[in-house]
Amino acid sequence: MRLHTNVWDSLNRLEKFIFTEWKYYNPATQQLAQSLSEKDKVLFNFNIAQLQWPEYFVFLTQGVRRYLNNEQPKSLDAARKKDKILFVVDVVFQVLVFALFGALLASLFGSSSSYFWLYGGISYLLFSLL
């Protein structure tokens, strides 16, 4: 329940940034960027194409955690550990569900019980397409 509340609060805080398309009319800035010397272009780095997007999003998520969710950086290791545990639980649960589903299909089709993994795997692939 606490996780749901935290996600809901985060979405409410970020709603205007997530669901609003921002367009800026900035011809003066574009003209300034074009008029810079090569040395100034390197110094002021106006080119957004050179932005390292993966690194940017790492810092973005850390900033959201820290300043919007008021979470301390020291809680990051515990959150990562919990995420790994939940991932393993999710994978184990999916394997069990699709194995049971495969066993059900094998019994419905009158196949030998060794085919339930095949049916479970096919079921997983079909459900993952949804």
Number of domains in the chain: 1
Per-residue confidence at 1, pLDDT binned at 50, 70, 90? low
**pLDDT-wise least confident of 27-41, 92-106, 116-130:** 116-130
Average pLDDT over residues 13-21: 83
- 1 DSSP assignment: -
**Rounded (5°) CA angle 55-58-60:** 110
Per-residue confidence at 11, pLDDT binned at 50, 70, 90? confident
Average pLDDT over residues 29-45: 88
Residue carrying the six token digits 């019980």 = 113
pLDDT digits (tens, 9 = 90+) for 91-102: 889 888 888 888
DSSP letter string over 64-130? IIIIIS---GGGHHHHHHHHHHHHHHHHHHHHHHHHHHHHHHHHHHT--GGGHHHHHHHHHHHHHT-
Average pLDDT over residues 110-125: 76
pLDDT reported for residue 28: 92
For the question of whether the overall pTM of this predicted structure is more than 0.75, the answer is no
What is the token pair recorded at 41?
């272009």
> Average pLDDT of the chain?
84
Average pLDDT over residues 9-20: 82
Residue carrying the six token digits 């394997």 = 95
Domain span holding position 76: 1-129
Q: What is the rounded CA–CA span in Å between residue 120 and residue 118? A: 5
**Phi, psi angle pair for 52, to nearest 5°:** -85, 95
Q: What is the rounded CA–CA span in Å between residue 97 and residue 30? A: 56
Higher pLDDT, 84 or 64: 84
